[in-house]
Amino acid sequence: MKVLMFGWEFPPHITGGLGTACFGMTKGLAKNNVDVIFVVPKAFGDEDQSNVRIVNASDITINLDHEKDRMYWNRVQYMEIGSNIIPYVGVEEFTQMVETGSNVYENFRGNVFAPSYEFSGRYGANLMEEVARYALIGSAIATQNDFDVIHAHDWLTYSAGVAAKETTGKPLIVHMHATEFDRSGENINTDVFAIEKNGMEKADVVITVSNLTRQIAIERYGIDPQKVVTVHNAVEPSEKTVLKHDGSKGKLVTFLGRVTYQKGPEYFVEAAYKVLQRDPNIRFVMAGTGDLIQKMILRAAQLRIGNRFHFTGFLQGNDIDQLFSMTDVFVMPSISEPFGIVPLEAMRSNVPVVISKQSGVSEVLKHALKVDFWDINALSDAIYGLCHYKALSDFFIKYGKEEVENIKWEHASYKIKKVYESLLS
Amino acid sequence: MNRSICFYFQVHQPFRLRTYRFFDIGRNHYYFDEYYNKLIMRRVAEKCYLPMNDLLLSQIEKYKSKVKITFSFTGIVLEQMEMYAPEVLESFKKLIATGNVEVLSETYSHALCSINKRDEFERQVALHRETIEKHFGVKPKCFRNTELIYSDEIGATVADMGYKVMLAEGAKHVLGWKSPNFMYVNAINPKLKILLRNFRLSDDITFRFSQQSWSEWPVTTEKFVTWLNRIPDNEEIVNIFMDYETFGEHQAVSTGIFDFMAHLPEAILTQTNFKFATPSELAKKLQPVSAIHVPNKMSWSDEERDLTAWLGNALQDDAFDTLYKLTEKMKLVDDEDLIRDWNYLQTSDHFYYMCTKWLSDGEMHKYFTHYSSPYNAYINYMNVLSDFSECVDLHLKTKESTKLKNNLKKQKK
């Protein structure tokens, strides 16, 4: 069995959990004897390719005279991406574009057809353009390769998935790692919403990463519950044995993730303040960056906890392992988290975790303290308890590790394989 | 009537911090960017200190005691000269040996401790006095505080420490209709005379010298002399105070700043009734006209001439309070490395980098910082401070336990 998979990022070049999840999933599929052609917009060349064949979308040449591509491009237009709103363009920049009288739609279309166009491979200002271009390439790749099913990850690749389905007639699975409601709260980008909705409607099966996300797909996008399946994410077993840093210098509490609204960083800062009132020897770390980072730094300074509350910026690879090896409590206070893979990585490194009830991962975890994201008191209480009551933390470390070692991608990928098989029979 | 003009130049470089990451806390106790500090010291030495010292020396040789200059050096700039540019230190020694140069007293590490920590302030000043005497063989008689920070209270403290003269900013909001061109006294202790900076004429050189959009550009010695002569006859002194790095560093050699300075003494001596003087000479010579009331602290920095370049936003206040919370503990510390770091960490520049006032003086602030944002400056400083306070605690703990052991031994004997 062979899958044509559309992604947006792949380790080591990642901006979020999607890349990590795709990596684990493809490995798991390989173990279940499933071949994968993984398409990413821009391969940097140093991705781990032992389990997957990475096709760099920038390498595919498109013959624009090809009738099928033309045909497909007409569909793209029909998909309403070309409206005058382009996401991630600042208000000022956008106004400027309108004022100078340049027709955004024309520019948009013009760029998409420019032959020297290159995918940047990062979420950027001309994201929609890249999405449309990616879709165009999707159908080209589909006609040039042999496979059984199409699997597209998150809205950025849905158009490509749909295009591939329409040119080949092969079944399509779309995988919801996050919804627009998770990313933006109630102020959703309607174009993104439309792409998500269209992708799920055209798909034969929708896979969601948690029941929480499944509910959103059904209730807010109106998708038929019959074709929405939950497959929880998993975590790769750690190959490294990381030595635990001795706790002689006081306990360390860690937040790791994008510092954005969705992740609830402010609850972490406020809880840190409360805990420090009681025990000034604990240290807090906020690892990651995002649009709320300056606000968080300023808030920590206002609360006068700057010498106990540290910011590391964006971390990758070894730095994350090192941070976990020093950490005594990991906190994920997400306001809305479709899944949330990081607590599993923490538990794998023998770190007890506190997670919000509003996260998908709380559906699968038993050995984690769960609190409502807004309940700062409960959050501080949990942090304080895990720092001070050894029996509690020992318990969580021991059983947490056991638990997380059984949440394997091999199992998750097996469920995904079953989904493929159901579509082929 | 003979009037006086006083040129005072500030010489200072901070020990800039290296990128000190969270992971370094508890593992690496060296905080300073040796490469970068050396780079800057070498650059400033070549562009400013060496050529400008030569220029001043030749003027003094030419006009003898008719040309007088005043300098203030921070202890930490002298340390950096010793390490990275010993020839600069030698050339300053030569200048001072002419006897026509006065050296001022200040804090050792360009610290802000005069604001809230009198003990630490006195310790820093004493340490600075020692250093100046060691290098130049002179005992400073006149005081200048970090960034010319001054208030009635700080003045009174300085008077208690035995100084007779202190320099301050001639800030508009303090002077009102009064002129900076007279001798004043401290409002609490009238024994302390106060010299005020003529910010207009000083800034004409420091900031506006190469500003082509300014209607008076270019500044020539003729123009400058005209401005001096325009000052009413009854006004006795003009105080030109500025950073020494103005010459060749802030104002590049291409602006003609060196030519201007090479001809200025002659122009002043021949075309005006101003004579060069140093603060101590002025203190002996002039009678004060009145007390100057400065209830709120002022400085020579930014449009506001207050402390907001270093303190006031949440980042700066947190860093400042966290630092000075260590004051009492530091009195017990006898480890040389820790005391060195304690001095270096007090340098006002660290707080300047955390400033978020981008409107009026943003350009100035951007010029002086090596951080990409004030937030990064804060994070880096706090990481360093966290490690430093851990080191202090560890040191005191060890000290305490050895003391206990020794006492036990004595008892056994």
Q: How far apart are CA B351 and CA B146, in angstroms?
A: 13
Would residue B299 count as lying in a domain?
Answer: no
Is B147 labeled as catalytic in the residue annotation? yes
In this predicted structure, what is the pLDDT of residue B271? 96
In this predicted structure, what is the pLDDT of residue A237? 74
Residue B412, pLDDT > 90, answer no
Active-site option among B79, B106, B147, B169: B147
* B90 confidence band (pLDDT: 50, 70, 90): very high
Mean pLDDT of A269-288: 95
Do residues A260 and A156 share a domain? no
* A124 confidence band (pLDDT: 50, 70, 90): very low
Q: How far apart are CA B387 and CA B29, in angstroms?
A: 7
Q: Judge whether B276 and B43 are in contact, CB under 8 Å.
A: no
Q: In this predicted model, what pLDDT tens digit does every residue of A228-245 receive, in sequence order?
A: 999 999 987 766 555 555
Do residues B122 and B268 share a domain? yes
DSSP run (H or E) holding A35: strand A35-40
In this predicted structure, what is the pLDDT of residue A343? 94
Do residues A21 and A95 share a domain? yes
In this predicted structure, what is the pLDDT of residue A51? 64
In this predicted structure, what is the pLDDT of residue A66? 45
In this predicted structure, what is the pLDDT of residue B278? 97
Q: How far apart are CA A397 and CA A349, in angstroms?
A: 9
Beta bridge partners of A54: A38
Task: Determine the length of chain B.
Answer: 413
Whether chain B has a CB inside 8 Å of the CB on A96: the answer is no
Whether chain A has a CB inside 8 Å of the CB on B391: the answer is no
In this predicted structure, what is the pLDDT of residue B366? 72
What is the β-pairing status of strands B193-197 and B183-186?
A: antiparallel
Q: In this predicted model, what pLDDT tens digit does every residue of B131-171 receive, in sequence order?
A: 999 999 999 999 999 999 999 999 999 999 999 999 999 99
What is the pLDDT of chain B when averaged over all its residues? 94
How many structural domains compose chain B?
2
Residue A121 or residue A229, greater confidence: A229
Beta bridge partners of A150: A4, A172
Do residues A283 and A161 share a domain? no
Do residues A253 and A348 share a domain? yes
The sheet with strand A2-6 has its strands ordered as: A53-56, A35-40, A2-6, A149-153, A172-176, A205-208, A228-230
The CB density around residue A386, as the number of other CB atoms within 10 Å, is 24
Do residues B251 and B376 share a domain? no
Mean pLDDT of A307-332: 91
* Residues of chain B with C-beta less than 8 angstroms from the C-beta of A304: 317-318, 321-322
Please tell me which of the candidates A285, A293, A298 has its beta carbon nearest to residue B22. Answer: A285
Q: In this predicted model, what pLDDT tens digit does every residue of B338-392 receive, in sequence order?
A: 999 999 999 999 999 998 876 556 667 777 778 888 888 999 999 999 999 999 9
Helices (H), B68-220: 75-84, 86-97, 118-136, 152-160, 172-175, 199-206
Residue A268, pLDDT > 60, answer yes
Do residues B323 and B243 share a domain? no
pTM of the entire predicted model: 0.80
Residue B397, pLDDT > 80, answer yes
Please state the ipTM of this predicted complex.
0.78
Do residues A85 and A230 share a domain? yes
Whether chain A has a CB inside 8 Å of the CB on B382: the answer is yes
* A134 confidence band (pLDDT: 50, 70, 90): confident
Question: Rounded to a whole number, what is the distance in angstroms from the first to the last CA of chain A?
Answer: 12
Residue A106, pLDDT > 60, answer no
Do residues B269 and B388 share a domain? no
* Residues of chain B with C-beta less than 8 angstroms from the C-beta of A305: 318
Q: How far apart are CA A336 and CA A356, in angstroms?
A: 9
Mean pLDDT of A349-354: 94
Q: In this predicted model, what pLDDT tens digit does every residue of A7-39 receive, in sequence order?
A: 877 766 666 677 778 888 888 888 888 888 888
Whether chain A has a CB inside 8 Å of the CB on B368: the answer is no
Q: Which domain holds residue B208?
A: 3-292
- Give the best residue of B326, B382, B384 to mutate against chain A (max A CB count within 10 A): B382
Q: Which domain holds residue A173?
A: 2-234+411-424
Helices (H), A81-210: 91-99, 104-113, 127-144, 154-168, 180-184, 190-202
In this predicted structure, what is the pLDDT of residue B373? 85
In this predicted structure, what is the pLDDT of residue A13? 66
Nearest residue of A to residue B27, measured between CA atoms: A249
Do residues B274 and B326 share a domain? no
Q: B257 Cβ partners below 8 Å, 6+ apart?
A: B205, B209, B210, B246, B247, B248, B251
Q: Judge whether A339 and A177 are in contact, CB under 8 Å.
A: yes
Residue A182 or residue A249, greater confidence: A182
* Residues of chain B with C-beta less than 8 angstroms from the C-beta of A317: none
Residue (of A320, A267, A266, A326) closest to A297 by Cα position: A266
Do residues A170 and A263 share a domain? no
Q: In this predicted model, what pLDDT tens digit does every residue of B177-207 receive, in sequence order?
A: 999 999 999 999 999 999 999 999 999 999 9
Mean pLDDT of A156-170: 91
Do residues A134 and A278 share a domain? no
Whether chain A has a CB inside 8 Å of the CB on B385: the answer is yes
Do residues B261 and B334 share a domain? no
Nearest residue of A to residue B317, measured between CA atoms: A301
Mean pLDDT of A238-267: 79
In this predicted structure, what is the pLDDT of residue A116? 35
Highest mean pLDDT among A51-65, A75-89, A246-260, B285-299: B285-299
How many structural domains compose chain A?
2
Mean pLDDT of B80-102: 97
Please tell me which of the candidates A306, A310, A319 has its beta carbon nearest to residue B319. Answer: A306
Query: To which residue do tokens 């104002």 refer?
Result: B251
